[in-house]
Chain A
Amino acid sequence: MANKYCLEKCIGRGNFGDVYKAACKRSGKVVAVKVVNLDESLEDMFFMVQEIQFLSLMRSPYIVQYLESFVENSNMWIIMEYCGGGSVADVLRYCKNFDENIAAYIIKYVLLGLSYLHKQKTVHRDVKLANVLVTTDGTIKLADFGVSGEMSFTTNKRSTFVGTPYWMAPEVIVHSKLGYNEKADIWSTGITTIELIKGDPPLADYDPMKILFKIPKQEPPLLTGDKYSDELKGFLEKCLVKNPRKRSSSTELLDHPFIGIAAEQQDFCKLLRRRRTSFLDKYRRRPRNPIKSDTGAGPLINWDFLSDGIHASALSDARLSPEGSGGLLSQNTPETAATTPASGRLVVLDNYGDLVHLCLERVKARASLITIGQSLDPLETLIKEIEDKHPGFCRAMVMEIVHVYSEVHHRKSE
């Protein structure tokens, strides 16, 4: 089944599996494939199966469409609709923030997606820009409800940290899983709106664990001041209400004046074209959990079954050793076969800003005196400022260094 699709590159990494861009070999259709290893933890598989049954019953233009799934070795392949524009969080990284009417355009489609999910009696649980995807023609779709949405709340062995809590409604933090409903998504939509306008969710500078205490205690993070329109401020007042019963529903919010100021799809497209370089096409991430294939020889132990011939047919393909050679463990012990450490534990860089930052850190580490290292700090700040003001600066710098270096290197070797 897996050879029906050709994996092109990794486009996203999650705690539970990496997402690849892929093409269906027969039709050429481009899809997104999430690959999850089911043998990592004992209960994930049963959870996953439930989630996929749920996903397969969802059909709406406002959500990323589930297509099919299958099992290959101990990996689960989940095939989803591909959104060529990446996530709105990716776009935001290069725009810094959005005008209100663009924000309203995005939130309108988030609400349409939520209103479908809520009619299906489902809570998304993880509304944030990283889970709002863009197609190549600028259509907005909700993703990652179900599988990873639910899973980001579980603290099993695989996820060493809980999903970032900046978007969490107060009642989700206080009452955990049992005591909340679809209104939790509305709070997260409010936070997501702020994320669009300001570039970050409120309290983004704080440690995620401290946030867990702050959100339930403090007043809702509304926006104030003349900088923002009344429509926006009023909209947030409807979303960011601490009592979930007094919070508006997704259908009610779709009628809010803020949604009325939404830009047209073509405006958003223009912005996408202007702001985005060829970046997304070259976007490639290193998978966190490289796909493991566990094909290979038969059982790891040469069992000694009595040669009584009973039911021998049932075991014919099990490659039993002849009687007499049993009693020894094969060279290939279970442990070496199953728990090869995942090579994806390395630091993986998402963007050139991080790359430059890391290089500077390494240069600092080389410094013979701490003070020499410290003298690099202003440079670091300066680079960050330039990158913020002119996104793409770091990328250009890295590209040029690589280019010039390889040129010089090339000439030397001639």
Chain B
Amino acid sequence: MANPKTPQELVRALTEQSSKLSSSLDNYKRYQDECGRYLKQIKVVIYGDDENEPQPELVAALSREILNSDCLYYLVYKLKHLDFDSRKDVVALFLTLLRRQVGSSVPAVGYLVNTKPEILVLLLKGPENDEVALACGQILRECIKYEDVNKYIIDHPFLWNYFRYMQSPVFEIATDSYTTFHDILTTHKKIVSDFLANNYDRFTTNINTLIQCDNYVTKRQSVRLLAELVLQRQNQYFLNKYFDDTNNLKLVMLLLSDKLKNLRIEGFHIFKFFVAKPKKSQKIQDILIRNRGNFLAFFESFDFSSFNDRNLIEERDYIIGEIEKLPAIERK
């Protein structure tokens, strides 16, 4: 193929070559190199090089051509067949497109949500493949900065796979999936509130499973996410249900009695809401009363001051006060 000159030619050549990429090809490496070369050329158009400054009209033409083609689709679909550096270039290309405004809108957002949502679905499935998981995660997190894309993602059934991905034996994949999932649930408050209200049972069951897993990092991350979610006023409906559920209280109490001090403290940041909530359900109240002595002994023995956090000490003292107000029952 002749050397592509204009941005249009470049995008067409890249789309064509990447669509053909397959590891079963004899001359796989040649196709791979060719894609890598085109991506490098695209990078020069976007960022310029030692001699040339990037030219706005060329960047505009490039972006238009990409959003009028299947280029991004094939790049993501064939991402695992690209080499290590080219995958980074694909991430950089996505990031550039997602930050490019025309007037008040970002053309890439409309393209992803309305024209080619298949791309978002491929990205969501990224953690299934070790090679591309992190690149897909990087792109996806940039995407969900836009509410429209976040909405599409949060409502997609594949979102639930993230509970599995977060337990991946490959550390980077598990943690990258967590980061993505965390962003999906904390960036746009309104859609998260709807999501949690509509999916209370399924969500709680899944996050509680994570909280009970053996992996220290997964465990702490999921407790931290939950603590962030219950701190959001917008999630009111979810909160009310969550803090009325005795199973949730039990799991949080088990965190308080964990051997590891940071798990205890992360647990405390959820536990405090069970105690501070004005209208408690009878069952919650009963468990709190039955363990009044246990709680007081816990606060007695656990050194909160080692965290050097004055707010934490104030919160602890408030919670101790509330617990002391509970009726001390006679034990048989």
Contact of B134 (CB < 8 Å), options: A49, A56, A305, A324: A56
Contact A337–B134 (Cβ < 8 Å): no
Q: Is B293's CB within 8 Å of the partner chain A? A: yes
Q: How does the 8 Å CB contact mask read for B238-270 relative to A, with 1 for contact and 0 for none? A: 000000001100110110111111111100000
Contact A329–B216 (Cβ < 8 Å): no
Min distance, Cβ B157 to any Cβ of chain A, angstroms: 24
Give the docked Cα–Cα distance between A56 and B291 (Å).
46
Contact A303–B217 (Cβ < 8 Å): no
Contact B302–A334 (Cβ < 8 Å): yes
Contact of A301 (CB < 8 Å), options: B175, B250, B256: B256
Min distance, Cβ A159 to any Cβ of chain B, angstroms: 14
Min distance, Cβ B313 to any Cβ of chain A, angstroms: 14
Within 8 A of A (CB), among B290-321: 290-291, 293-294, 297-298, 301-303, 307-308
Contact A56–B332 (Cβ < 8 Å): no
Q: Is A271's CB within 8 Å of the partner chain B? A: no
Q: Is B88's CB within 8 Å of the partner chain A? A: yes
Instruction: Report chain A residues within 8 Å CB of B9.
Output: none
Give the docked Cα–Cα distance between A301 and B298 (Å).
8
Min distance, Cβ B284 to any Cβ of chain A, angstroms: 10
Contact B262–A45 (Cβ < 8 Å): yes
Min distance, Cβ B255 to any Cβ of chain A, angstroms: 9
Contact of A45 (CB < 8 Å), options: B217, B290, B302: B217
Q: Is B146's CB within 8 Å of the partner chain A? A: no
Contact A69–B294 (Cβ < 8 Å): no
Instruction: Report chain B residues within 8 Å CB of A368.
Output: none
Q: Is A351's CB within 8 Å of the partner chain B? A: no
Chain B residue at minimum C-beta to C-beta distance from A333: B301
Give the docked Cα–Cα distance between A41 and B266 (Å).
12
Q: Is B169's CB within 8 Å of the partner chain A? A: yes
Within 8 A of A (CB), among B173-219: 175-176, 178-179, 208, 212, 215-218
Give the docked Cα–Cα distance between A339 and B290 (Å).
29
Q: Is A209's CB within 8 Å of the partner chain B? A: no
Instruction: Report chain B residues within 8 Å CB of A68.
Output: 170-171
Min distance, Cβ A286 to any Cβ of chain B, angstroms: 25
Instruction: Report chain B residues within 8 Å CB of A41.
Output: 262
Contact A39–B172 (Cβ < 8 Å): no
Contact B261–A339 (Cβ < 8 Å): yes
Give the docked Cα–Cα distance between A221 and B48 (Å).
36
Contact A334–B217 (Cβ < 8 Å): no
Q: Is B159's CB within 8 Å of the partner chain A? A: no
Chain A residue at minimum C-beta to C-beta distance from B289: A304
Q: Is B287's CB within 8 Å of the partner chain A? A: yes
Contact B175–A303 (Cβ < 8 Å): no
Contact B287–A306 (Cβ < 8 Å): yes
Q: Is B128's CB within 8 Å of the partner chain A? A: no
Indicate whether A311 sits within 8 Å of B250 (C-beta atoms), given known contacts A39-B216, A306-B283.
yes
Contact B134–A57 (Cβ < 8 Å): yes
Instruction: Report chain B residues within 8 Å CB of A318.
Output: 254
* Total A-B Cβ pairs within 8 A: 137
Contact of B217 (CB < 8 Å), options: A42, A76, A301: A76
Give the docked Cα–Cα distance between A334 and B179 (Å).
31
Q: Is A315's CB within 8 Å of the partner chain B? A: yes
Indicate whether A303 sits within 8 Å of B254 (C-beta atoms), given known contacts A42-B307, A74-B216, A326-B294.
yes
Chain B residue at minimum C-beta to C-beta distance from A76: B217
Contact B176–A335 (Cβ < 8 Å): no
Contact B291–A326 (Cβ < 8 Å): yes
Q: Is A147's CB within 8 Å of the partner chain B? A: no
Give the docked Cα–Cα distance between A334 and B258 (Å).
8
Chain A residue at minimum C-beta to C-beta distance from B175: A49
Instruction: Report chain B residues within 8 Å CB of A73.
Output: 216
Give the docked Cα–Cα distance between A342 and B331 (Å).
40
Chain B residue at minimum C-beta to C-beta distance from A68: B171
Contact B84–A59 (Cβ < 8 Å): yes
Chain A residue at minimum C-beta to C-beta distance from B216: A74
Within 8 A of B (CB), among A39-75: 39, 41-42, 45-46, 49, 52-53, 56-57, 59, 68-71, 73-74
Q: Is A327's CB within 8 Å of the partner chain B? A: yes
Min distance, Cβ B139 to any Cβ of chain A, angstroms: 13
Chain B residue at minimum C-beta to C-beta distance from A74: B216
Contact A38–B217 (Cβ < 8 Å): yes
Contact A299–B169 (Cβ < 8 Å): no
Min distance, Cβ A308 to any Cβ of chain B, angstroms: 7
Contact of A327 (CB < 8 Å), options: B208, B260, B294: B294
Instruction: Report chain A residues within 8 Å CB of B218.
Output: 71
Instruction: Report chain B residues within 8 Å CB of A359.
Output: none
Chain A residue at minimum C-beta to C-beta distance from B208: A314
Within 8 A of B (CB), among A251-277: none
Contact B171–A70 (Cβ < 8 Å): yes
Contact A324–B171 (Cβ < 8 Å): no
Give the docked Cα–Cα distance between A52 and B172 (Å).
7
Give the docked Cα–Cα distance between A136 and B20 (Å).
43
Contact A38–B253 (Cβ < 8 Å): no
Instruction: Report chain B residues within 8 Å CB of A42.
Output: 262, 265, 307
Contact B262–A329 (Cβ < 8 Å): no
Instruction: Report chain A residues within 8 Å CB of B170.
Output: 68
Q: How does the 8 Å CB contact mask read for B78-91 relative to A, with 1 for contact and 0 for none? A: 00000010001000
Contact B301–A334 (Cβ < 8 Å): yes
Contact A294–B172 (Cβ < 8 Å): no
Q: Is B324's CB within 8 Å of the partner chain A? A: no
Give the docked Cα–Cα distance between A71 and B215 (Å).
7
Instruction: Report chain B residues within 8 Å CB of A339.
Output: 261, 303
Min distance, Cβ A16 to any Cβ of chain B, angstroms: 15
Contact of A329 (CB < 8 Å), options: B221, B286, B294: B294
Instruction: Report chain A residues within 8 Å CB of B294.
Output: 301-304, 326-329
Min distance, Cβ A190 to any Cβ of chain B, angstroms: 24
Contact B302–A310 (Cβ < 8 Å): no
Contact A71–B250 (Cβ < 8 Å): no
Contact A301–B208 (Cβ < 8 Å): no
Contact A326–B290 (Cβ < 8 Å): yes
Contact B331–A327 (Cβ < 8 Å): yes
Instruction: Report chain A residues within 8 Å CB of B175.
Output: 49, 52-53
Min distance, Cβ A245 to any Cβ of chain B, angstroms: 17
6 contacts between A and B (CB under 8 A): A53-B176, A71-B218, A303-B257, A310-B247, A334-B302, A339-B261
Q: Can you list the 4 inter-chain pairs with the closest CB atoms, starting with the nearest?
A: A299-B257, A301-B257, A311-B247, A304-B290
Measured CB to CB, the residues of B under 8 A from A are 84, 88, 134, 169-172, 175-176, 178-179, 208, 212, 215-218, 220-221, 224, 246-247, 250-251, 253-254, 256-265, 283, 286-287, 290-291, 293-294, 297-298, 301-303, 307-308, 331-332
Measured CB to CB, the residues of A under 8 A from B are 1, 38-39, 41-42, 45-46, 49, 52-53, 56-57, 59, 68-71, 73-74, 76, 157, 294, 296, 299-306, 308, 310-311, 314-315, 317-318, 324, 326-329, 333-335, 337-339
